Chain A
Amino acid sequence: MGAEKATLNTDWLSACGGCHVALVDLHEKILDVIGAVNIQHCPVLTDIKGYPKADIGILTGAVRNEHDRHAAEAMRASCDVVIAFGTCAVYGGLTGASLAHCREEILDRVYVNNKTTLTHEAPTSQVALLEKLVTPIDEVIDVDLYLPGCPPHASFIFEALSSLLEKRPPEASDRSVCARCRRKMVKTDVSAIKANHEGMPDAETCFLSQGYVCLGSVTLDRCHSACTNQGIPCTGCAGPTLQVLTEPTHDLRTEVSERMSKLTAIPYADLMAAMERAAKTHYAYAMATKMIGDKPTFLINKWIEDVEAEDESNDHH
């Protein structure tokens, strides 16, 4: 890395905090980073409250409340290059999944009618006011670079920071989670979709071949396929592949259903219906970005209504 130290600000909007932990997950390579970078505003490492001028700014989390909006604007004003770091910053992430419910429903569930708390009213002071919607940060401020991942694997963080400091293009592939998954894809006569808790999936064979819905083929690899190689189907935490993002008619459920119906004996329509039923889960990480939310194929309100109508008619019988 360069001889002169660059300056770095980081800040933490609505997120779980895992992205800041991921920075420390660089292990001994963190020493190279500290050798090359002066860390200034960083909520977990320093006590600097203001936003000093910095070369690089790392923003994690989505904009959900007044504090987030203020912090994002302050970071933009103080940093030359702003990186949207982690899935929440890039797409709204898991905080964005709350868009399946309105603000009033969320406040009611969390504060008013929450069985595990003693008080039953939403706070009016101390806690930053919840905005009506979740907004990925690039709809609030200009973002220079994007690093999705929940959190991004340390190797991608190191490559991103190194390339910035060395002023060269980063080596980032646009391949999916399947690219680093060690399972073999085979054609099978599996005829029913399995829930994750059903049966014991074979460790050598692709989840799709075995009837388990796995989002690996529609998810950008920023994780080194950690889950699928450890026996857990991909939930899409790093967000969609660039193909899904830029092609208006390509969608998470259409691509997965197409591949899975060709690998197994499960009909395409059944897979589509099952994925629409579980849309709040499958689209959780990316539904807040316009790149997914504005897709003509993304009909979450209809899917939720369909499920509710189905549940209601089942209740009557």
Chain B
Amino acid sequence: MLAAPSLVRAQGAGSIKIGEINSYTAQPAFLKPYRQGWELALEQVNAGGGVLGRKIETIFRDDAGKPEDAVRHAGDLINAEKVDLLSGGFLSNVGLALTDFALQNKRLYAASEPLSDALVWAKGNRYTFRLRPSTYMQAAMLVEEAAKLKARKWALVAPNYEYGQSSIKWFKELLKKARPDVEFVAEQYPALGRIDAGATVQALEASKPEAIFNVTFAVDLTNLVRQGNTRGLFEGRDVVSMLTGEPEYLDPLGAETPTGWIVTGYPHADLATPEHVKFRDAYKAKYNDYPRLGSVVGFDTMNSIAAALAKAGTTDNEKLIDAMEGLKFPSAFGSAEYRAIDHQSTLGAFVGKTALKDGKGVMVDWRYADGAKYLPSDDVVKTMRPAG
């Protein structure tokens, strides 16, 4: 404890800098709320005196959805701006590029949003931590519900890129394990953002499934739902759907929202835990808008970094990483932890059903699925993570 004041002096009294790289212009629907959530947390942390007696400062950079631009910003941020650590990433490939950059440059990278399993497992490394529940975790949460359904014949639809493909892979693998009697009768992989909804709906319909697992989101989801509603694809069928309960994707559906879908998401209006109410009130007061899931991710990422800094007592990245392994941090969903074994946080998601209320889509019958319960056993994780 005696060393602390001299440590602060040695690091200089300037602010702690975080370089935050994200696809702000390419994915504004998620990332505008994200940035607002981040700035809210930043304001709160700094209002409380910052961490280690220093204010935190964020330098935001837009990667335009390109991994190579993200890497350029990362290099510029650590060399020119002298940031202490990196954060951000929305697309999985941007996240992976930053993961590898972090390893090469021995710099902490707090990945907030990218869902790819590879980020913490196959390509995981000492320098990368990830906040969001991964593709595996969200698929596992939904499989738990899907296994309870009577349906045996499943049709699958997912955007044609890594997130979509690995969601399907895990869903099939885990569901088959829980229910050996299921079969998968159709798979559709529309190009991301370019779904030919009418034709896709018809192709799914033709396989006469009893249930549908959907991974499409954003505009693909909207178009799929409209065509599916008109053509009766969802009538009399169970639908299980990734991310659909997130306000970012649920709100554009409006009165078109299909009811009774089993989804992962975020019931922002009804979640009444004290942490969340506090967060939501502060968010509403600052932005005069309700929070989206992106807001929570931004808010939590910032807060988890502040918690790590406070615990480490230094910005030295190696010590910061040691502090972050097993770190418990406050979240708008309650408390969560960065696992020491694979640097995945245990932040969960809400699983519930979609419903219509006053012409808008909402989630009902939801429960919080704690991320810690939807991860493979430690032995399995170790085999999947060569970095250890």
On whether the two chains bind one another, the answer is no
Interface residues of A (CB under 8 A from B): none
